Amino acid sequence: MTMNRTLPLVLAVLLVSLSGCNQPLQLFRPSFEYPSSHIILQNEARGLDASLVHLAQKNPRELFRRGLENTRDIRDMQCRLIRRERLGDNLTNEQDIAVKYLARPFAVQLTWVKNPGSADRVLYVEGENDGKLLAVPVLVGFLTGPVAKDTEGADARKSSRRPITQFGYDKSLARLLEPYETGQLSAGGTFEDRFLGAATVAGQESLAFERVRTGGDPVDDADTAVGWQVFLDAERLFPIGIIEFNCQHEMLGYYVFTDLQYNTGLTLADLKTAFKKLAL
């Protein structure tokens, strides 16, 4: 039976054993109010293609691989990114970001519609501006104009958990596949992917998974992700929703892609023109 949409969503939240982060994480399922209204998890896989459900239950790796293969068909994308992240000791307010993306050359233009951080517009083009992004600072941007910033510098880390150079479904899916190649998570330790069932993510039918750390050395860094929920859209198998947790079962961030449009004919000139207009 489908869960009542007005009720808190029961999510898989990762907790340490009674002795804390010095033990491998164990799965625990308390009632947890889901942080965004854009994902609705169901109690069963009803409505999903039976072959996808079989793979989700037996071989999630194959679905990630197929999703990565499907990204090769994406030349450009426009969407909205709903995001909230833990930066330092605090969670940001939920941000609504308009996204324009090109696969080749790799380019990303972001415009904050709601709750910007230090910048309300950003443009990154691989191979240009000495590898730096261009940002229009909040409030004073009309005076300073675009400012070049290191993609992995201190300012960038204060604004996002992951650099803009790591944007894209292909990179997200590659990160999901990497532990299958190495045998361990990036933070170390063994892992297991589990199928949760069907979900509706931003109006799209999706498959819901959780990745849990099942063993390894202690992870004491509260800023390190050791648990994830991943939502693949049932059509292309793209990760249109991701939630990250640390070893203290705190949410480190959630990311939901909405209003998705693929291969609309965007060009690099379109991104640059839009950014220049916004930066005026």
pLDDT of the chain, 280 residues: tens digit per residue: 333 333 333 333 333 332 334 433 444 343 345 556 788 887 677 789 999 999 999 999 999 999 999 999 999 999 999 999 988 888 888 999 999 999 999 999 999 999 988 888 999 999 999 999 999 887 655 556 788 999 988 887 778 889 999 999 999 999 999 999 999 998 899 999 999 999 999 999 999 999 988 888 888 888 888 889 999 999 999 999 999 988 888 889 999 999 999 999 999 999 998 898 755 4
Q: Are residues 114 and 228 in the same domain?
A: no
Q: Which residues contact 166 (CB under 8 A, 6 or more apart)?
A: none
pLDDT of residue 247: 84
pLDDT of residue 34: 57
Domain count, the chain: 2
Is 256 among the domain residues?
no
Q: Are residues 79 and 154 in the same domain?
A: yes
The candidate with the shortest Cα–Cα distance to 277, out of 123, 116, 82, is 123
pLDDT of residue 77: 98
Is 97 among the domain residues?
yes
Q: Are residues 130 and 87 in the same domain?
A: yes
**What is the distance between the alpha carbons of residues 165 and 147, in angstroms, rounded to a whole number?**
17
Q: Are residues 49 and 83 in the same domain?
A: no
Q: Are residues 130 and 194 in the same domain?
A: no
pLDDT of residue 158: 78
**What is the distance between the alpha carbons of residues 117 and 90, in angstroms, rounded to a whole number?**
13
CA 69, 60, 40, 81 torsion: positive or negative? negative
Is 259 among the domain residues?
no
Burial 43-60 (b: 16+ CB within 10 A, else e): eebeebeeebbebbeeeb
Q: Are residues 136 and 274 in the same domain?
A: yes
Q: Are residues 67 and 182 in the same domain?
A: yes
Q: Are residues 184 and 51 in the same domain?
A: yes
Q: Are residues 239 and 198 in the same domain?
A: yes
Q: Are residues 99 and 202 in the same domain?
A: no
pLDDT of residue 129: 94
Distances (CA, A) of 171 to 1, 109, 238: 35, 17, 11
pLDDT of residue 143: 58
Is 8 among the domain residues?
no
Q: Are residues 66 and 171 in the same domain?
A: yes
**What is the distance between the alpha carbons of residues 155 and 143, in angstroms, rounded to a whole number?**
19
Is 2 among the domain residues?
no
Cα angle 227, 229, 232 (rounded to 5 degrees) comes to 145
Is 32 among the domain residues?
yes
Domain that holds residue 191: 13-72+167-248
Q: Are residues 114 and 152 in the same domain?
A: yes
**What is the distance between the alpha carbons of residues 113 and 123, in angstroms, rounded to a whole number?**
15
